[in-house]
Amino acid sequence: MKKLAIFGGVLVVIVLILILSMVSGYNRIVGFSQTTDSKWADVQAAYQRRADLIPNLVQTVQGNADFEKSTLTQIADARASVGRVTISQSQAPTDAAQLQEFNKAQGQLGMALSRLMAVTENYPQLRANEGFRGLQAQLEGTENRINVARGDFNQAVQNYNTTIQRFPAAVYAPMFGFHSKPYFQATEEAQTAPKVKFDFGTPAPATQK
């Protein structure tokens, strides 16, 4: 009986240790999961900031009657494609295909904006427009914010995924609905897309007619 009591006591201690370990691990996973949601919200905010700049940018460019309309059409189409992608605004995505679709749409919009900036080099009168130059500066800053936000998000996802894949969390994490989350990955378009970089030097003089 004495040995049985000792064995039972040891068993109870082991069970308590396992429970405490699981509770601690669960709370740790919850913290990492909430961080990924927070970083995802930052990504969404950065992309929304870019989207909010586009109407003013397009309106300013349209003021130049000679500007290439096909470039503006590409931006309108790319912006519409972004709007058709349904994805959570507050929770980090768990569907890799859904995130890839979102990433591809945003990448196409970024490429369209890059083309727009490249084309404006042929319009010195537009580059001399103070309002347009201000929008250029805001867009450049927004692109930087997007890159930082995406990097922070990927780091948060890495921390979260690593935690739920380690033992013993790997055993119980799926039971509580914790599954791996996808990363942002560079799209094929991003491999060749021109960088959004602006020259704020003295505008070239307009061509004499």
> Per the domain annotation, does 11 fall within a domain?
no
> Per the domain annotation, does 172 fall within a domain?
yes
Q: In total, how many domains does the chain have?
A: 1
> Per the domain annotation, does 20 fall within a domain?
no
Q: Which residues of 8-20 are buried (b: 16+ CB within 10 A; e: fewer)?
A: eeeeeeeeeeeee
> Per the domain annotation, does 21 fall within a domain?
no
Domain that holds residue 66: 54-192
Distance separating alpha carbons of residues 26 and 172, to the nearest angstrom: 9
- What's the pLDDT tens digit per position in 107-116? 999 999 999 9
Q: Most confidently modeled of 20-29, 99-108, 199-208?
A: 99-108
pTM higher than 0.85, yes or no?
no
> Per the domain annotation, does 42 fall within a domain?
no
> Per the domain annotation, does 148 fall within a domain?
yes
> Per the domain annotation, does 197 fall within a domain?
no
Helical spans, DSSP H, in 63-195: 69-84, 96-119, 124-127, 130-165, 169-172, 188-192
Cis-peptide, bond into residue 168, ω within 30° of zero: yes
- What's the pLDDT tens digit per position in 28-68? 999 999 999 999 999 999 999 999 999 999 888 887 757 77
> Per the domain annotation, does 30 fall within a domain?
no
Length of the chain as a residue count: 209
Average pLDDT estimate for 177-186: 92
